[in-house]
Amino acid sequence: MKQIALDNQDRTIRRLRAQLTTERRGLAATNKELKETQVALEASHKVIVRLTEIGLSMSKKIEKMKVKKQLVKANQVECHQKFQARIHEAEDSMQAQHLLIEALVDEKDSLLQTIHDLQEANNAPAPFDGDWEEEPEEEEIEDIPLGEGEIDDE
């Protein structure tokens, strides 16, 4: 009986040793997977940190671009307003010049009429019949080339 008990204990020990070896192999495989997962997790964490830094940097750049865009828009509005003011000034100046020209034409007509009335009152012949003739343009004088020894006073 002692022999059977010893044989049973021996079988149990072998079975437990086999289980222990299997468990150790499983534990080693799990440990290896854990280390690989830890390495992958650390790499993933580094990527996330870098992406976060990039995101923050881009957010700052976007904010700067928004500020620049607002400044450009304000500058464009200011330039547009200045341009509109210049256009308005030019239009006002043109209108004033037009009114001045009309007043001068009216004054010229009035003066011509006064001259005509005075000539009729004095029975003098009219030097012109009311149609204004433009004076002919002066002919251009050709430049005479200077000879040697002559002094140009201009």
The answer, as to whether pTM is greater than 0.85, is: no
Determine contact, residues 110/120, Cβ cutoff 8 Å: no
19-47 mean pLDDT:
96
Continuous H helices in 2-141:
2-121
Express each pLDDT in 115-154 by its tens digit. 999 999 888 665 655 555 556 566 665 655 555 555 555 4
Cα(9)–Cα(4) distance, rounded to whole angstroms?
Answer: 8
For the stretch 79-98, what's the b/e string if a residue is b when 16 or more beta carbons lie within 10 angstroms of its beta carbon? eeeeeeeeeeeeeeeeeeee
Rounded to a whole number of angstroms, the CA Rg of the chain reads 55
Quote the pLDDT of residue 153.
53
Say whether pLDDT at 79 is over 70.
yes
Could you tell me the CA-to-CA distances from 77 to 72, 74, 83 in Å, in that order?
Answer: 9, 5, 10
